[in-house]
Amino acid sequence: MTSPNPFEHAPVMAQEIVDALSTVPAGVFVDATVGGGGHAAAVLESRADLSLIGIDRDEDALEAAAARLAPFTGRFQLHRARFDQLGDVVSDAKEDTVSGVLFDLGVSSPQLDRPERGFSYREEGPLDMRMSADDTLRADDIVNTWDTDDIADLLRDLGDERFAGRIARAIEAARPISNTLELAEIVREAIPAATRRTGGHPAKRTFQAIRIAVNDELDQIAPALTQSIDLLCPRGRGAVLAYHSGEDRIVKQLIADEENDGCTCPPRLPCVCRAEARVHPVAPKMRRPQDDELAKNRRSSSARLRIFERTEAGRR
């Protein structure tokens, strides 16, 4: 049974996002993962001179965002797309540049809290985990058809799971697996009892890895960020919220590459190759939620926020 307000969601580090965009030029703000519209509403409330292009691949999210943003009618438009399609979305909206871009990566609380979406390891649901019904790969395909070695590699690479081999063998032995609770119990039993008693839910890393694979999440990040930097006007800013070490590594590396602009000069020596930074990271380079937010929203605990500002250089 779904919640009467299925996309009620407290946006993570909302004040930090508002502060980050407080200095950008007037114009268009792109929320590339608009979700229920919480961040977007906070930004529009703080800046009357910004309009919004909101993007999400989840139809439920867009419906909720439209309701949340109703007080700002005339200042926003919403589009159903993956966030690595933001360049096309902005072009279709007849915009050449944008003043700010936000990426809130990963899965939202409402998606986790709706058992029928298949993201939750605490409630029974189908082995789905798709953010868009248009996608073809489902969690069931991975759990019930992939080779054991491929599942183990997936859990190591995308879940940092040190018991990946044990879990993969347990999954293969238990097939066919029919729902999320059954999968969660199989994972729990595969992990040594002493380890199960510490940390979070034993199945968290496995579900995270499968979800990332189903939705092709990591491969979208670098292209999407590059598109956003191409579109940002000078002094425009990008903000990225990551919740997984793999996501954050990609974000950190891309910002460093764009700041370096392919410079080949030896470290600690003046640059003579005429490289020009397209962005500068905004200090501090990585931010975490404050204690008061952590007390109110435990799901914010893994959040990492990185902010960058567009320079005049390298306009394409």
Contact status, residue 118 vs residue 207, Cβ threshold 8 Å:
no
- From the list 219, 221, 211, 213, the residue with the least C-alpha distance to 242 is 221
In this structure, the answer to whether residues 102 and 249 fall within a common structural domain is yes
Residue type at position 253: Q
292 and 221: one domain?
A: yes
The phi, psi pair for 304, rounded to 5°, reads -130, 125
Q: What is the amino acid identity at position 223?
A: P
Q: What integer is the mean pLDDT of 22-48?
A: 97
Whether pLDDT at 6 is above 60: no
Residue 316, pLDDT > 70, answer no
**Residue where a domain stops, chosen among 193, 214, 235:** 214
188 and 48, same structural domain? no
Q: How far is it, in rounded angstroms, from Cα 316 to Cα 305?
A: 26
- Decide if 97 is inside a domain: yes
> What pLDDT band is residue 8 in, cutting at 50, 70 and 90?
low
> Is 119 within a domain?
no
Residue 131 lies in a domain: no
Domain final residue, candidates 156, 179, 214: 214
228 plus 81 within the same structural domain: yes
93 and 104, same structural domain? yes
Tell me, yes or no, whether 52 and 185 share the same domain. Answer: no
Whether 117 is covered by a domain: the verdict is no
Identify the domain containing residue 193 by its residue range: 136-214
* Same domain for 293 and 207: no
Q: Is residue 88 part of a domain?
A: yes
Kindly state whether residues 94 and 140 are assigned to the same domain.
no
The CATH number of the domain holding residue 257 is 3.40.50.150
Q: What is the pTM of this model?
A: 0.89
Q: Does the residue 221 lie in any domain? A: yes
DSSP the chain: ---SSTT----TTHHHHHHHTTTSPSEEEEETT-TTSHHHHHHHHH-TTEEEEEEES-HHHHHHHHHHTGGGTTSEEEEES-GGGHHHHHHHTT-S-EEEEEEE-S--HHHHH-GGGS--SSS---S---SSTT----HHHHHHHS-HHHHHHHHHHHH--TTHHHHHHHHHHHPSP-SHHHHHHHHHHHS-HHHHTSSS-TTHHHHHHHHHHHTTHHHHHHHHHHHHHHHEEEEEEEEEEE-SHHHHHHHHHHHHHHHHTT--SPTTS---S----SEEEPSSSSB---HHHHHH-GGGGG-EEEEEEE-STT--
181 and 255 inside one domain: no
Q: Of 214, 244, 270, at which residue does a domain stop?
A: 214
End-to-end Cα separation, the chain, in angstroms: 49
- Range of weakest confidence among 20-34, 104-118, 262-276: 262-276
- The confidence score (pLDDT) of residue 196 equals 85
Render pLDDT for 278-306 as a digit per residue (tens, 0 to 9): 999 999 999 999 999 999 888 789 999 99
Is 153 in the same domain as 203?
yes
**Residues 153 and 201 both lie in one domain:** yes
For the domain that residue 145 is a member of, what is the CATH number? 1.10.150.170
CA atoms within 13 A on the CB side of 126: 8
Question: Tens digits of per-residue pLDDT, 127-183?
Answer: 999 999 899 999 999 999 999 999 999 999 999 999 999 999 999 999 999 999 999
Residue with tokens 């005049």: 312
In a domain, 116, yes or no: no
- Let me know whether 225 and 300 are in one domain: yes
Is residue 299 situated within a structural domain? yes
Determine the distance from the C-alpha atom of residue 223 to the mean position of all C-alpha atoms in its chain, rounded to a whole number: 14
Measured in whole angstroms, the distance separating CA 47 from the mean position of its chain's CA atoms is 24
Q: Give me the number of domains the chain comprises.
A: 2
